Structure 1
Amino acid sequence: MMFKLAAIDDLLTNLGDHVDFATIAKKEADLGVQHFEYNVDAGSTTYFGENGYLVERLSNGLGTPVAKELDPAQVKSLGTDYIAGKLSLAEAVKDLAAAGCEAWTANLKRNIIDFAGPEGKIIVAIEF
């Protein structure tokens, strides 16, 4: 299934800022997204589908410099709140950047998000 960035944008706009991540994941998977990677510093997202199909958003305007000091406990707490819908994407980006999180990857088939620090090292993996 081939999805377009416009379809993802419409979906996220319709769901609103504080929807739980499981709902977002289900709806994006219905579009054909299998997983996505979000880069905190750049504010960019790469969405992956089947057969190597991908769609990139170069920036969503939320790019935030990442703190040099890593706080794994804070990343876990913030990641949990983001997945539960307690934080909007903008809030999560700002707070996770301050905690040293550089990226996250959501696997929509396995229902897990890996939050990563420097050099892509996974800090915490949280199921949704």
Structure 2
Amino acid sequence: MSVAALPDLDLTRVRSGPDLPVQMVPDLQLTRARDMGPVPVAPMAELDTGRAADDGVRTAAPLGAVVCRYCRNTQAAGLLCDNCGMRLPRVRPAAGAAVAGKPAADDDGWRACSSCHTPVRPGKPCPECGTRAQEEA
């Protein structure tokens, strides 16, 4: 089925045949550079890398209550803020290890996360993976 073109339609499609003969452009830089020959390499003694010499002292990970940098909520436990859900500046507990102050099993209302088995309170997001724990029945 053939359809006639609209008379007011501006045709912008490029024709399939070439309009001009192919011309070589002598100044066009191709993808490969020519051989530059031996380039002298010398260290730059005056270059400041912006780093101080390593003294071996490391900043201790924050312990206890931390303040969320997004909503300023102060929270004592967990890797995710209970108010806004953003990650808190804490150290992740080792896999399978109980967090200090948290029981490893179901006593005191703690449960294992269904995704990563980290101790979590029912109804709260998991501090490791963010999966919300199911409420107790």
Same fold per superposition (TM over 0.5): no
As a proportion of its length, which structure holds more strand? 1
Question: Which structure is richer in relative contact order (CA contacts within 8 A, separation 6 or more)?
Answer: 1
TM-score bucket of the superposed structures, by smaller chain: under 0.3
TM-score using structure 2 length = 0.23
Q: Which has the higher helix share?
A: 1
The alignment's TM-score, normalised by the length of structure 1, stands at 0.24
Larger Rg: 2
